[in-house]
Each structure stands twice: as structure tokens, then as C-alpha cells.
Amino acid sequence: MTKIDCEKLRQDFPILDQLVNDEPLVYLDNAATTQKPAQVLQALENYYKTDNANVHRGVHTLAERATASYEAVRQQVADFIHANSSKEILFTRGTTTGLNWVAHFAQEILQPGDQVIISIMEHHSNIIPWQEACRKTGAKLDYVYLKDGELDLDGLQDLLSSRTRFVSLAHVSNVLGVVNPIKEIAQMVHAVGAYLVVDGAQSTPHMAIDVQDLDVDFFAFSGHKMLGPTGIGVLYGKEELLEIMSPVEFGGEMIDFVREQTASWKELPWKFEAGTPNIAGVIGLGAAIAYLTQIGLDQVQAHERDLVNYLFPKLQAIPGLTIYGSQDLAKRTGVISFNLDELHPHDVATALDYEGVAVRAGHHCAQPLIHHLGATAAARASLYIYNTKADCDKLVEALLKTKEFFNGTL
Ligand code: C6P
């Protein structure tokens, strides 16, 4: 396996080459959104410069070129996540939209007394759509909690019953960085006849995904967290489920025939894509997938693992620094959330920014988890392919400086 040549790869990311507060930028907010390589920026520019036209409508050359490029990316996505067919790939605005669409489908199925299971480590995008679906149908929303900073699989097993209709879980938590054993969970969920929905926002950018091997029913992710543009995402669904699922949005593009009182839908996947889609976003996503595929997802994962193995003990050695989630590094990705002494994480993040280090601070759109951890907020460093051990050293050095500065004033 060829290791990532970070020095060389960083040349593709012009944004990284800048000073922030007179310090070289160390970008460690990749779980929020990643930077875009020149290849993605170029693909967007080329599309608008040479091919821009609406898709699936025109017969002129530009329209056919735009449509061909758009649909080629659908196949590329299907190959990337090992879907059975490109019919199973729906373009969305992002993970949030995908999860909302599935929860909308759930509203058509759920009966009073049915059960939906999610976990305490979910992002709000995988909580609120289910709260709404349960509120509207009279179904019950139950939570799986944590054991040793990981998902409590025994707790999940105890909750599963013949009334369980949907289980919706993050593949990787955006706060704890822990990887949930989705393949094993799929067996447990299917054994009671329920559907498994997976929020792949924090896994797809960082590891090879095979939706058939995982045997998930639905899988949602966002382009902007994997080097692609914002505003584009994917919802994968097993074909037989997408066939019975109703469209969520109605309008142009998604219809076959419209009469005064009725309309009929196009076949999969187009029945879900009402209106002019984010064509440039799809093209950019295709370029991002090509970039990641060329590196190899195994190399991406190995690089991040290397960084985590290097950084984690250094963070653990900082007195007063609390790291959330499992201490078992084999089960973690490059997302590390922490608090330092009694300092507010916003102060920590601001102090780090003075040193050029970009981290996120707050509740990370996971308030139930933050509350469950007994915190009000946390700081979070999240790594990606262009981060180096020098970036990790800079984070540690900046944290020590922050500690020294505030302890002097506490
Ligand atoms: N998390 C973070 O800083 P969208 O916004 O639709 O692209 O992704 C939503 C989402 C869903 N699930 C998980 C696990 C996520 O991490 C996110 C986005 C960002 O953690 C922004 S809040």
C-alpha cells in the first residue's frame, strides 16, 4: 500500500497555503467541512465554461453533454459505495435531506405503538426527523446509549422487538469519532424485520463503503465532507424500498404525465429529483470521488489512523484535558472532541485560532449527546488527508499555550 505523500498532496489544496493571524493555517475542522482540491475547483469551472445546460430536458449538444456528465456521476457514486445499481443513488442537498426523506417514508409506514430506535450519539439531522415521524404517527422513539464511550450493542439488542420498524444510526459519530459496527447491527436489526438507516456523513469520506456488504437499507452522506462542493449529497436506498417510497418533493423533472387533477412519476431514481438539480454540485462530487479513489480509501484510512495514533497520546498527556469517547484507537476515526480544564471551548477555539489552528467548538449539532456526557459544549479537532504530524504538534503546542495563558488569569 503506497502511503499518502502529504507534501505533494497539499499542493492540490491552495487554501491551506495561507497565514491566519500571522501563523500558517492548520485546518482541523474537517468534520464540519473539508477543503477542496484544485481538481474539484477545475471541474466546476470547466462545467460552467464549456457544458452548462439544464439536464434531462434539452436535445441540444450542451444539454446532452451536461446530462451525460450528471448521470455518469450517478454511476460513479454507485461504484464508489458498491450499490447494486445507479437507480439506488438519489442526489440530495446533503445528509440532512437524505435522512429527512427516509423519515418521511417512515411516516407512511409507522403505526401507533411501533418503535423507532436511534442512539444518543446522533447528529440533530438523525434525531429531529425521527422525532417528527414519531410525533405524527404515534410511534415511540427509543435511544441506545453508550458503554465505554461506544454504542451499547447489548442495549440495542434489549430494545429490538417485533414492534421495531426503523433503526437509524450514525456510522461514525461526529463528536466521539467512534465507528459503529454497522454490519453486525444490520444482522440484529433485520432479525426483527426492521429497516436499518445509516448516517454516513462522517464515514464515507474516511473509509471504503460497501452498502451491499454492510447490508444497510438506506445510507446518506454529504459531498462537502469528502472534498466536494456544499449543497450536494447522496441518499442510497435498496431498489425495492425506493420503489415503494413516495417522492417527497413534486414539480418538474420527476413526472411522466401531468393532467389537471393527477400526475404520474418517472421511474427510479428520477422520481425523487424534482426541479433543476444541483448539476455543478454533482459534477464537483464526481471530481471529488475521482480524487479520493485515485488515492485509495484504504490509504486515506491508514493515513488518518497514523495521525490519530500519534496525536491521541499527546493529547492524553496534557493535564486537565478530557477526551470524549472510546480510548480504543482501533475503533476511532480522526475526530477528537475534548475539553480543557474549566475553560469554555469557545475560548479554547478562539485561543487556538490566534495560533492559526482551526477547530470547532460548541454542541456540534448533537445536544443530547453533549448533555449525556455531562458537558455543555466541547472543542473538536478533526483530521483529513492533508493533515500532517506537524499539524498535530501545532495543536498540542497551541493547547499548552492556551492552558498556560488562561491558568495565569483564572
Ligand atoms: N456535521 C459537524 O460539524 P449536512 O449538514 O446535511 O451536510 O450533514 C449533517 C450531518 C449529519 N450527520 C452527521 C454525523 C454529521 O456530522 C453532519 C454534519 C457537521 O459535525 C456540521 S453540523
Q: Is the CB of 31 under 6 A from ligand 1?
A: yes
**Residue 237 and residue 245: Cα distance in Å, rounded?**
10
pLDDT at 407: 83
Q: Is the CB of 228 under 6 A from ligand 1?
A: no
**CB neighbour burial string for 90-100, b if at least 16 within 10 angstroms, e if fewer:** bbbbbbbbbbb
Secondary structure of 202-260 in the HEC alphabet? CCCCCCCCCHHHHCCCEEEEEHHHHCCCCCCEEEEECHHHHHHCCCCCCCCCCEEEECC
Cα–ligand 1 centroid distance for 201 (angstroms): 6
The residue whose CA is least distant from atom 2 of ligand 1 is: 32
Q: Is the CB of 92 under 6 A from ligand 1?
A: no
Catalytic residues: 365
Q: How many residues does the chain have?
A: 410
pLDDT at 410: 47
- Domains 6-32+296-409 and 41-294 belong to one CATH topology: no
The pTM score is: 0.98
Residue closest to 238 by CA, chosen among 82, 88, 81, 74: 88
**Residue 408 and residue 349: Cα distance in Å, rounded?**
18
Q: Is the CB of 402 under 6 A from ligand 1?
A: no
Which of 34, 174, 336, 363 best tests ligand 1's pocket when mutated (most atoms within 8 Å of CB)?
174
Cα–ligand 1 centroid distance for 253 (angstroms): 28
Q: Is the CB of 123 under 6 A from ligand 1?
A: yes
Fold designation for 6-32+296-409: Aspartate Aminotransferase, domain 1 (3.90.1150)
Residue closest to 174 by CA, chosen among 294, 387, 332: 332
pLDDT at 120: 98
pLDDT at 17: 98
Sign of the dihedral defined by the CA atoms of residues 270, 274, 275, 276, in that order: negative
> Cell digits for 111?
403505526
**Residue 357 and residue 368: Cα distance in Å, rounded?**
27
Q: Is the CB of 380 under 6 A from ligand 1?
A: no
pLDDT truncated to tens, each residue of the chain (410 aa)? 689 999 999 999 999 999 999 999 999 999 999 999 999 999 999 999 999 999 998 899 999 999 999 999 999 999 999 999 999 999 999 999 999 999 999 999 999 999 999 999 999 999 999 999 999 999 999 999 999 999 999 999 999 999 999 999 999 999 999 999 999 999 999 999 999 999 999 999 999 999 999 999 999 999 999 999 999 999 999 999 999 999 999 999 999 999 999 999 999 999 999 999 999 999 999 999 999 999 999 999 999 999 999 999 999 999 999 999 999 999 999 999 999 999 999 999 999 999 999 999 999 999 999 999 999 999 999 999 999 999 999 999 999 999 999 986 54
Cβ within 8 Å of residue 81, ≥6 positions away: 204, 209, 210, 211, 219, 234, 236
Q: Are 235 and 90 in contact (CB under 8 A)?
A: yes
Strand partners, 169: 198
**Residue 216 and residue 211: Cα distance in Å, rounded?**
6
Angle at alpha carbon of residue 206, lines to 230 and 104, rounded to 5° = 55
Angle at alpha carbon of residue 32, lines to 205 and 277, rounded to 5° = 70
Q: Is the CB of 337 under 6 A from ligand 1?
A: no
Task: Specify the ligand 1 atom closest to the Cα of 95.
Answer: 6
Cα–ligand 1 centroid distance for 16 (angstroms): 22
Please give the full DSSP string across 88-137, using - where no structure is assigned.
Answer: GEEEESSHHHHHHHHHHHHHHH--TT-EEEEETT--GGGTHHHHHHHHHH
Q: Is the CB of 6 under 6 A from ligand 1?
A: no
Q: Which CATH number fits domain 41-294: 3.40.50.2300, 3.40.640.10, 2.60.120.10, 3.10.20.30?
A: 3.40.640.10
* Domain range annotation of the chain: 6-32+296-409, 41-294
Cα–ligand 1 centroid distance for 33 (angstroms): 9
Residue closest to 227 by CA, chosen among 79, 356, 385: 385
Q: Is the CB of 96 under 6 A from ligand 1?
A: yes
Cα–ligand 1 centroid distance for 1 (angstroms): 30
Residue closest to 385 by CA, chosen among 10, 2, 42, 43: 10
**Residue 200 and residue 223: Cα distance in Å, rounded?**
11
pLDDT at 52: 97
pLDDT at 109: 96
Cα–ligand 1 centroid distance for 360 (angstroms): 12
Cα–ligand 1 centroid distance for 62 (angstroms): 34
Task: Specify the ligand 1 atom closest to the Cα of 32.
Answer: 3
The residue whose CA is least distant from atom 17 of ligand 1 is: 201
Task: Specify the ligand 1 atom closest to the Cα of 93.
Answer: 6
Looking at residue 3, the DSSP 8-state letter turns out to be P
